[in-house]
Structure 1
Amino acid sequence: MSSRSRTVHLVQSLYPLILGLILVCGLLWVLAPRAVVEAQASGPKLSLTAGLERAASSEEPIALLDHAAAITRTIVARYNMLWQDDLVVGEGAIPGNAIHITVTDSAHDVVATGTTTDGTCPWCGPDGYYLELPDGVLYPGNTVTVNWGEGFVDAVEVVSMTGYPDPSTDVVTGTAPAEGWLWAFVERVGGWDRYDIGDVEVDASGVYTLDLDSEGWDIQYGDEFHIYYQAPNGHQVEYWFWLPAPELWIEKENTPGAPVPGGTQLYRIRYGNGGNGDAENVVISDTLPLSTTYAGDSSGFSVYDMGDTVTWTLGTVPRGAEGEFYVALALSTELTAGGGLESNCATITTTTPGDPDWENNGSCSGGMEVGEGDSGLWVNKNVHPGDPHPGQRFYYEIDYGTEGPAANGPAWLTDTLPLSTTYEGGNEEYGWGALWTEVVTTGGQFVLYAPAGIPGDMGGRIRLALRLDEEVPIGTRLENRVEITAATDANPDNNWDVNDDARVSEPRYDLRTDKWFGHGAVVPGGYAAYGVQYENKGNVLTHAWLTDTLPAGTSFDRAWRWSPEGDQPVEPYAVSEEQVVFDLGFVEVGEGDIFDIRLDISPEISPETPLENCATVGPEPESKACATVTVFEAGHPNLYVDKRVDNYNPGNDWLNYQIDVRNYGDVTVEGVRITDTYPLSTTFHGNWGHNFWEGIDLVSHNEGTRELVWELDRLDPGWSTGINFSVQLQEPQERLRWYTNTVEIDVPPDEAYADDNQDVEVTFSGGEVDWVDVRVYGSRIWGDVPEGPITVTTESAWTAMEWGGRFDWDAPHPILPGQVITVEAGAGREPVVIEVPEPFDADASSIADEVWGQVDRLDGEWLEVSLDGGPSVEVQTDASGYFTATFFDVPRGGRGEVRYRTDVDYARVTFHRGFQSPDLILEVNYGNDGVDGNYPPGHTVWITVTDSDGEFKATNVVTTAAWPWWGWSTGFSTNHSPWSLE
């Protein structure tokens, strides 16, 4: 880091020589060149120089010499013009020591405290520290005291400063402590250009002037100014201000589906203000394509329809604000399938001056091919957990969407909540929240309205949080009904769903955890940072504890969680050489969190040592997860790159890639290049971003070779960052296609490990069949295909359907273990050939409260076992396919099913096997005078009927056997045995 001053260490015994030395040192100061090495532009500039500090008065050198023991430990206190983003940063941290920071007011009352450690400042070097404080804490007159440990304590007073830039004269004037010294820098918004000014003297009246015009700098709206006051002992106070300017942006996107003559087409509009000032009188204008008219939108803003143009009046858009909404356009019946619909373009404007980038104030969606066909809405519902406990939270997931290319709407979604529940909140989990407006959330109903409608060929999910009343009896079944409606729906038969799977149950504790390696300088004497996640999968609020077991040769440094306001420390409950224990507090049902744990690596550890870090969350039953990283030799860089696709589903128009870049070594690499070769049959439109605090540029794009090259200014030890970009599929509906993407990062000459400097990501566009479900010992086969026709063949029958989408068929004969089912769809290039597992056994006992059985010879595969109206549990088979699932209560005659999911020929296949506890339960049917029941085979059942007075009416004798129409379970029925009246 750069510095303005480093005082000479003198002991008090030399004070008699000070007066003479002042003259000599003053002359040396004038003659000596002082090179200033600047800090990173985005961070505060620390000021330490070799030589004596230039003094504003003859007393200042003496004051500095009195604090010589602490001169290498510095404090910078920063606040800004809005009294926000307060932070303390500096150097001189002692490795392994906690740094305690206290802010007191003029009355010496504590107004804020915080703790940090070395290495927390990304631009300060290994002995740097960094701590964000609540807004308004660093107020003039307050004092910041830093305790580095081992007796090193110092303080700096927050001084009052102001700044007033004038873009007409290119001069900044302001106030600061009289006769003090400042240095400053100014930069364009976004940090792409910067100018430094040193040795600015404040006059006797407390006024300073920065004449940027004479320095060749043209002050523009949005410019940011950082003024550093040189406080005693080498400390500084930074005041940050700016000439506010908005930076509006807008994006216009097509939604899934296709425009259909006479239908509607939805477009998404996203907008925001990325500047440092508010934007006033903001207006969005949408120029409509030919053959379209405005039909509605979900914005909630005032809208003016001028026929070929629609405008929305947004008012003021604050700095940092973002929003989105959907607009629906009605399509002319004169459009023809196979033809084109022109691009839809939108612009955003403001009367506030200073927007530095007008190129992103307009956006077009791109044209679309006109399709054909009807479209309908669908909805279904699931509950989690399925065994809610009285007084506790639980959730319903509402899955909804459209079948077919055309949009539907306006649409209403009405959810009738179960009795004895209270709505606590909800959210759209698949990114479609801007479609909906809440209308009703009380009185036992949850009602949403989508004024623009629902796009074609899409699916969404709404998650509702409910609270079950305290007094609901155990065993109560909860019924929930949801309905989605639109006047344009071509198939209203699947517009509603009733879920009665939830059954009020006894408390069940189930905490889960996960662990992964994040980043670090993984060398002897370095560090390793791991991520950990926990979640409450039970049905009751639980006080949770997490125990992190440290690898040999490491020690705990700190833990933190990310938040939009900055990293927040996570304080451990207890720390030892082997473990760190965290008190997670009370974790709500279905909730959890993610945080990071940093471990210091011993300098004595040997290279190639694996560091396995494990986390266990409890109380009982405990969940454990581990992650491992290998230590490499010190003195080398160790670059790493990884690639993944986010949120792709077959049929999507875009592939969204995330590239992770890290330096696991302990040597900085300058000018790091990442080269990505994106897949064939895709197009890059310039959509990319990153989360790096340093400079990063897309330096080249070769459309012929499909290569994108980014360059990072530098990658320091332990640093990590991410690059995201999108490519558009040229044939998004094409199945059985593999999209291969390769990425490489530079291999420096002294790279520690080069095998992870490249990665390949292959994305599959899906098979001709998406999924198939099979009812074993029953006859039902159902599933979903993107394109028809569909042919389903069993060993004894077949059926054919001309349409695509969902299908459902009852075979004429039972589907037994060992049989083969073939499903073909579309062109039939890749039939799905399904062999039913053999054996597939499932038994249940209401006495033992267990379900057990065997599925094929599966080795360590996961099964889902669920009770009708009760909970579901996941169990793992042993090496021979045997499994056992234990429940709190399997009721007499309790039914359910075992589900085994696997992938077959690029389709997800689920086998369903029913079970029932073999208790003597009678089911009486008054309509046909029948009595049925489940029971093991080979037993005789005597049935006697009497009236309310006990008078004999009839008898029947039946034998228990297998009944195919009951899913091949066993039991008895009087339907084929006449009643005897004697």
Structure 2
Amino acid sequence: MVFYLFLTILTKVKSINLNLMNKKQLSKLAHKTPLVIIILAMLMGTFGIQNLPKPEYIVHAADPIRADFPIVNYGTKAILAHGYPGWKSENQTTLTTTQSGRYQVGLGWIIDSHNIGSTPQYKERFYLNHRRSGDVNWTQLYLTEDGYDIAGAPEVSRFVDNVATIDMEAGDYEFQADHYAIYTGVDPSGMDPEYTHTTESVDPEYVQAILLEAFLTNLSITKTDNTNTIHPLEYLNYQVTYSNTTNILADNVVVTDTLPIYIVVDEASITNAGTYDSTTHKITWNLGTVNPNTFATLEFRVQVTGDAPNGFDLHNQVDITTSTAETTTSDNHAEDHTTVVIEQPSLPNLTIEKDDGETTVAPGAQLTYIINYENNGDAIAEGVSIRDTLPENVIFIEASDNGIYDNQVVQWDLDNSLNPGDSGMVTVTVRVPENTPDGTVLENLVEINTISEESNYDDNYDDDITTVEVSEPQIQLNKSYQFIEDSDNDGKADPFDIIRYTLRVTNNGDIDYFYAIADSLEDIVDYGSEPFNIDPTNGSYNPDNKTISWWPEMNINAHNFIEVSFEVEVKEPSEWPESGDMDLRNVFGDEIIILVDESYCDVLIEKDDGVDTARPGETLTYTINYRNQGSITAENVIITDILPYSEETGDPYVTYVSDTSGITPSIIEDIIYYWEIGNLEPGEEGSFDIVVTINDNAEDGTVIENFVVIETDTYDNNPDNNYDDDITIIEDEDLPDVSVTKTDSQDPVSAGEEYSYIITYKNVGEITAEDVVIIDTFPAYITFVSVSSDPQVPYTYNETSRTITWTIGNLEPGKGGKITINVRVNNDIPYGETVITNKVLIKNSNYDSDLDNNEDEEQTTLKRGRMAAVTGTNIFIIILITALTTTAVVTAIRIIKNRA
């Protein structure tokens, strides 16, 4: 009973057709199964493969004749391919693998078992034959044996399902099933009698492969020409060595060598059937399959052209690719650098420098010019001479090393030749006449010559410039104050407070100077008394012009100062002027302001649009800030804004759009707008925006100036801050406009797969965009593989910030290009779907007319499969199967299926 329950479960798991077996045959099959049958429910949803035969294997234990037959247990793996073969054993099916590796290959079929005449078939063996498509020979693997048939038994249908372990490369494979039986009436009892091929039909149900272990290949490549330098017209022999260091074949292997300019390829020297493309300047080898543990070398020869410049880097790059998966591609690229060297003749190179150590000089002073010379070449300089031309308005005093003076020229003829690396120094001393005018420029020229040819004459000359400076006094004025009496200690001027002012005059020059000190006290005496306690006492106050002065002039020594002081007393408020700035303002070098401690009104207004330039059609937003920073209420405050207009035509340069004041403005001729704010309390402030659009009559270069004024019925003690303006310059010239877009080559993408981002950029403006740079920022879950561009542009990849930067340079109008970034999705991304965003930015150094198209982003969906549940309700089945033989073993098998 338990066995039939087991078969019933098998029909759910394996879709076995029990209608093909009668009760007697089922009993026979049960008798031939003495050990525990293990059912492995393999969950295939993890690998995203649907609607395939369930990879669940029934593994038969040994029968009574062959007790040594092994029990095999199989884990859960991915089914990579499956197929359905023909009816009989001589037919075959093709199974395609996509990955090199070690596979468990399962072959399931139904056979029509019958006896030959009256002779029973005691043993039947089943074999799996396989070969790679295109091969001639088959490889036969033993699968299993089943029991024996009784002579004269009727034909029955049997289900056979077994597996074999096979190492296969990626590609197509063919499979067959063979069935053999013993035609003897004697039980072989474990002997090895001859098995004979039968005529029984074999009807395979399916062939499927499970990847146990992936085999990855690994290609590497190196390149050398065995030299670091080369001369024009010489030959270079390049050697490209590639290898497969694994035990796995590498299919569709291609080696591509990218050659530099300034070389000519000897195509006849290219080994291994490599082909040269003069258009792309590349050599390509299509190597096909590279066997495991292969090391090989490709060779070719090139000649350096005669016009190759000195110092040019012959940068040669080579890459190797394969369609077979690799453990790493980091060693699939190699480079070789060789520098072009043009030999130069050995020549001397004389240099000379001159300096007097001064930038200015006073009349009557002496100057000593120091002249240094050297031979920086690699050959001897013969017949060396130095010629120094002095300024016309200096007097020669002496020259070192027997220098000969003649008519403002000093010359040295060196006795010995100048060897490479030799150097020396000569000097000449002159005096500046006392009557030389201030600002006279003294220019001294020196040159060095040789009768030998030089490699460079640029350093054979030098000059020195010194300016005559007649010393003048440098006078600095400073003023300070202090309260001698401050009734409330608030630092403000209250009635009857006494303030002392101190005036200082400093002579920072090099000569003594006489100076007459005078100071206007007009603002001070409006609120204070006439000065008293004047020090020194020769100072006096003139009430007619309200000026205090000290006379006669006082001598101020060089780098010294003199001070004078006076005091005033603050008047009573009744004596203050009816209008004024309500402070004691005084300027003597420094501006001194002392606030008068009295109630006053002071409204302030400020205006700004936040930009310096704009274009016709653009919108400007003027922000107006106002406040009462006085100590009393400002009544009936009105703000008036005068929009920019043409003084020639009277037409406005801008059009009013709106404002955020919350107050409806009064309008005069669409130019003057005013808002009635009302009263402003002390410290109260406000702000609102005025939005305008620039009219077409504002041409390039037009200066548009916007004025704003704040007024109050209350007397304002400080009218200077009652108005403000804002200036904007119109720029309507042609401008660049760089744009960038980004797309992905595939969406969605699975874990482990590679895909590409395509970046397209262009200058859609009217003029050249300067210093163009493109920056791409990688999101998480992907890994950078490679990049290409058309036209080719240099780039850098920062692993820390995960950014790639391309330096485009200048981009002319209508010009652009395309960049392709190849990436790989990480294997450890979250299960399910993950959306990532890749962003790209383009920018240039000169003005861009449209910033909205300077960046783009692309979203890509990444997928990773989750283990799918086997269809069916939650079942917890414990099957206990007890064998009826003396060697029975009791085993519990638990199958748990959960709906996802």
TM-score band (shorter)?
under 0.3
Larger radius of gyration: 2
**TM-score, reference length from structure 2:** 0.23
Greater relative contact order (Cα < 8 A, sep 6+): 2
**TM-score, reference length from structure 1:** 0.21
